[in-house]
């Protein structure tokens, strides 16, 4: 799974690697905290469903990436990859402070390849 900002990969998550116990516990704690309620826009949502949780976590992921909070971004990415096993890409577009987030389930991420130009 990959997280892209304006088409550029920011994070990649390898689901083939086993999630360490402490990280699994952290994700469970995130779920428990979200059960108390989350803010999406101006609305407080009690007992959010999986889709609402994904939106909330993806919004926090965007905030973490934009503010260079690498460990928070990694945690949010791990949550999305673990809780949404069919998720293939998180596509974030940020144009003139207008942010859109698309969770992509039907298109595999293809690694970007650096191209060397010679003259």
The residue among 117, 23, 101 whose CA lies nearest residue 55 is 101
Whether pLDDT at 38 is above 70: yes
pTM here is: 0.86
Residue 109 has pLDDT above 90, yes or no: no
Provide the 10 A C-beta neighbour count for residue 65.
Answer: 21
Note the pLDDT of residue 61: 96
pLDDT in tens, 71-95: 999 999 999 999 999 999 999 999 9
Q: Cα dihedral sign for 94, 100, 101, 107?
A: negative
Q: pLDDT band at residue 41, thresholds of 50, 70 and 90?
A: confident
Per-residue confidence (pLDDT) for residue 86, from 0 to 100: 95
Tokens standing for residue 94: 């940020």
Q: What is the mean pLDDT of the chain?
A: 90
Residue 31: the pLDDT is: 94
d(CA 50, CA 38): 12
């Amino acid at each position: 799974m990959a997280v892209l900002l304006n088409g550029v990969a920011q994070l990649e998550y390898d689901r083939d690697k086993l999630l360490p116990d402490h990280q699994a516990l952290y994700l469970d704690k995130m779920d428990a905290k979200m059960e108390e309620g989350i803010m999406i826009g101006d609305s407080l949502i009690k007992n959010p469903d999986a889709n609402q949780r994904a939106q909330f976590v993806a919004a926090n992921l965007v905030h973490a990436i934009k503010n260079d909070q690498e460990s928070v971004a990694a945690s949010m990415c791990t949550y999305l990859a673990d809780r949404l096993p069919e998720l293939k890409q998180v596509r974030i577009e940020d144009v003139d402070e207008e942010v859109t987030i698309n969770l992509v389930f039907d298109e595999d991420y293809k690694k970007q390849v650096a191209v060397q130009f010679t003259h």
